[in-house]
């Protein structure tokens, strides 16, 4: 196997130059987005450089407390990102649901696939724990965001139908069954579509990175399969937990639609 080609600063700069050329052409067509692209590129670069040095140190000096701290940091930022995305649209009870469902769902899947399936030793090995956690937590965050968006919109738009069902004797669970199902489908569909096209339409980033580093394609494939199964289970578990607890936040103790706070 050939070793990976090291990129120097000039090669990286050529990548930036090419991006700016492309968006200069876009600007020429009347679409002004080069400023946002430049800010995104700079922010990405600074974040990745910082993360790279941090991971290099942590991987060379494995420590259970450092691994746990980084995982908790990931979970905290994921929850904060969901809160920020919806701002005033999330009620306090629904925020609590997100704060429970996201970490419980993602950590359950993460620990199962790392400790039971891959069986890393020691259990806190950052080389495996941190990058895999990033993929699982990130996808769980996206899934919950999609589910929340669908849940809030459907509960708002279909409020009168839900109230009619309640008047006719339906329970909140029965009255919102279709809404919960639709929200789950919306959340899980991107992951399923990614799995359907994987290996034929595109090669995923983790697999590509492993192959570039000299890992056998067959080894890269087995890891990618495990990672995708972990992501699917994490998204499904996080979302279903959020939805099963989340729909209840729209009702009061008398099983009536809760009034929106002014």
Structure tokens at 138: 């990130």
Q: Judge whether 260 lies within some domain.
A: no
Please report, rounded to a whole number, the percentage of residues in the chain having pLDDT higher than 70. Answer: 96
Distance between CA 156 and CA 152 in Å, rounded?
6
Structure tokens at 222: 């087995």
What 3 state SS string does 27-57 have?
Answer: HHCCCCCHHHHHHHHHHHHHHHHHHHHHHHH
Average pLDDT, the chain: 88
Looking at the DSSP bridge assignments, the partners of residue 251 are 257
225-248 pLDDT, tens digit per residue, is 999 999 999 999 999 999 999 999
- Whether 100 and 108 have beta carbons less than 8 Å apart is answered as no
120-129 pLDDT, tens digit per residue, is 999 899 989 9
Residue 76: predicted pLDDT: 96
Distance between CA 135 and CA 129 in Å, rounded?
10
Residue 99 has pLDDT above 70, yes or no: yes
Cis peptide before 122 (omega within 30 of 0): yes
Do 130 and 163 belong together in one domain? yes
SS3 83: helix
- Whether 155 and 249 have beta carbons less than 8 Å apart is answered as no
Do 88 and 144 belong together in one domain? yes
Do 18 and 93 belong together in one domain? no
Do 119 and 197 belong together in one domain? yes
Q: Judge whether 256 lies within some domain.
A: no
- Whether 90 and 117 have beta carbons less than 8 Å apart is answered as no
Q: Judge whether 259 lies within some domain.
A: no
- Which has more pLDDT, 30 or 83? 83
Confidence of residue 135 (pLDDT cuts 50, 70, 90): very high
Residue 37 has pLDDT above 90, yes or no: no
In the listed set 35, 61, 87, which residue is the last one of a domain according to the structure? 61
CB-facing half-sphere around the CA of 24: CA atoms within 13 A:
6
In the listed set 61, 85, 112, which residue is the last one of a domain according to the structure? 61
Do 31 and 153 belong together in one domain? no
Residue 95: predicted pLDDT: 94
Q: Judge whether 196 lies within some domain.
A: yes
Residue 141 has pLDDT above 70, yes or no: yes
Do 56 and 67 belong together in one domain? no
Q: pTM (2 decimals)?
A: 0.84
Domain interval for residue 168: 63-250
In the listed set 22, 43, 61, which residue is the last one of a domain according to the structure? 61
Do 57 and 76 belong together in one domain? no
User: Which range is most confident: 24-38, 78-92, 209-223?
Assistant: 78-92
Q: Judge whether 177 lies within some domain.
A: yes
- Which has more pLDDT, 249 or 2? 249
Structure tokens at 228: 């995708």
Do 2 and 68 belong together in one domain? no
CB-facing half-sphere around the CA of 169: CA atoms within 13 A:
0
Do 178 and 198 belong together in one domain? yes
Q: Is the dihedral of CA 247, 252, 255, 260 positive or negative?
A: negative
Quick one: average pLDDT of 171-196? 94
Do 148 and 69 belong together in one domain? yes
Residue 32 has pLDDT above 80, yes or no: no
Do 49 and 120 belong together in one domain? no
Quick one: average pLDDT of 165-169? 90
Confidence of residue 165 (pLDDT cuts 50, 70, 90): very high
Domain count, the chain: 2
Residue 1 has pLDDT above 70, yes or no: no
Residue 96 has pLDDT above 60, yes or no: yes
Do 13 and 68 belong together in one domain? no
Cis peptide before 182 (omega within 30 of 0): no
Structure tokens at 123: 């259990």
Residue 262: predicted pLDDT: 37
Q: Judge whether 262 lies within some domain.
A: no
Q: Judge whether 258 lies within some domain.
A: no
Residue 210 has pLDDT above 80, yes or no: no
Q: Judge whether 228 lies within some domain.
A: yes
58-76 pLDDT, tens digit per residue, is 989 999 999 999 999 999 9
Residue 26 has pLDDT above 70, yes or no: yes
Residue 30: predicted pLDDT: 75
């Amino acid at each position: 196997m050939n070793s990976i080609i090291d990129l120097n600063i000039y090669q990286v700069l050529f990548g930036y130059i090419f991006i700016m050329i492309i968006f200069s052409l876009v600007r020429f067509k009347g679409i002004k987005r080069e400023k946002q692209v430049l800010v995104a590129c700079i922010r990405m670069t600074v974040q990745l450089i910082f993360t790279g040095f941090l991971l290099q140190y942590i991987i060379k000096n494995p420590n259970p407390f450092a691994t746990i701290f980084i995982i908790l940091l990931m979970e905290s930022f994921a929850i904060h990102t969901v809160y920020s995305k919806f701002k005033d649209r999330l009620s306090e009870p629904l925020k609590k649901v997100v704060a429970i469902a996201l970490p419980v769902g993602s950590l359950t899947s993460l620990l199962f696939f790392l400790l039971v399936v891959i069986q890393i030793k020691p259990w806190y090995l950052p080389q495996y724990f941190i990058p895999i956690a990033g993929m699982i937590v990130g996808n769980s965050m996206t899934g919950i965001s999609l589910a929340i968006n669908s849940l809030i919109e459907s509960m708002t738009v279909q409020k009168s139908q839900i109230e009619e069902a309640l008047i006719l004797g339906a329970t909140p669970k029965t009255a919102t069954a279709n809404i919960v199902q639709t929200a789950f489908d919306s959340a899980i569909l991107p992951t399923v579509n990614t799995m359907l096209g994987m290996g034929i339409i595109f090669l995923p980033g983790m697999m590509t990175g492993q192959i570039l580093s000299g890992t056998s394609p067959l080894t890269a494939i087995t890891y990618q399969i495990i990672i995708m199964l972990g992501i699917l289970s994490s998204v499904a578990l996080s979302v279903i937990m959020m939805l099963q607890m989340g729909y209840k936040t729209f009702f009061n103790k008398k099983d009536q639609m809760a009034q929106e706070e002014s």
